[in-house]
Amino acid sequence: MRHRFSERKAAGRARVHGESKRPHLLSGVMRCGTCGSTMNVVGSKNKAGVRYYHYGCSARATKGAEICSNSIACSERKAEAAIIGALRDIVYQPEFIGRFVARFNARISKKKATTKKTEAELLDGQIAEVEARVRNLAQAVAKSGWFEALAEQLKTEESTMRALKARRGQVQSVEQRATKMLSEETVQGYLSDLLTLLEKDPARGRVALKRHVGAIVMKPTVEGTNRFYTATGAFDLRAIIPLKTFDPATIAGDRVSVETCCGGRI
């Protein structure tokens, strides 16, 4: 899915970046599309007592123009509005979240079905065998009369049967617990939490962003006198799911990844 940042500009919230202590949310998250170095805050301007920061290629800033030709500065305010806006858009994309939830749940069901087959079927097979032995013993008793040896054997088989049936009951309850499915509302909730974190706590938000979005590639673009960035990033929705609320064995090893690209002008 592609997001046009420019379309969102008008609707984007203006934010005052006056506090010098405020961490930079996107520091180290964006990469220069020319040389691949990280984009860091490379300068700032003071306007009416408020400091505005801007990002640029860190390699160019520290090593010079011969290392990287990208000289475009990008306002922190615009970059944050665009990237948070792109994530916010996902919350309001029911078909995108729906697709993710459907695939995620399909994986859980598939895993659950496989697990049930191997564990429960194995036990069912063992129970059937013990039942057959108990039947044979009963027939032997009917034919030959009651002997201590036969009675002992019958007791042993019956106690094996009880143990197997108890285990079979446990397997069933384990499987029932693991049927917990993901809902679209839950995913929307996780996304809203992530957005709140990005806006309220930039230091932790930056860590979350790196985990969920990975690197956002900033491609410098020049169109006539216009110089701007086109941002592209992949958002891994799977990373917002706290896996400990699901049976880890159910999902482990599965790559249930849905990615979205956000590209647009910054």
Q: List residues near Zn ion by CB under 5 A.
A: 32, 34-35, 37, 57, 59, 68, 70
* 30 versus 108: smaller Cβ distance to Zn ion: 30
* 36 versus 94: smaller Cβ distance to Zn ion: 36
* Smallest distance from Zn ion to CB 83, Å: 19
* Smallest distance from Zn ion to CB 37, Å: 5
Q: Determine the residue type at 145.
A: G
* 70 versus 250: smaller Cβ distance to Zn ion: 70
* Smallest distance from Zn ion to CB 59, Å: 5
Q: Which of 226, 229, 235, 222 is nearest to 262 (CA)?
A: 235
**Beta carbons within 8 Å of 110's beta carbon, 6+ residues apart:** none
* 35 versus 234: smaller Cβ distance to Zn ion: 35
* 68 versus 90: smaller Cβ distance to Zn ion: 68
* Smallest distance from Zn ion to CB 175, Å: 53
* Smallest distance from Zn ion to CB 119, Å: 54
* 68 versus 82: smaller Cβ distance to Zn ion: 68
* 30 versus 82: smaller Cβ distance to Zn ion: 30
Q: In this structure, are residues 217 and 233 in contact, taking their beta carbons and an 8 Å threshold? A: yes
List beta partners, residue 232.
217
* Smallest distance from Zn ion to CB 221, Å: 14
* Smallest distance from Zn ion to CB 31, Å: 8
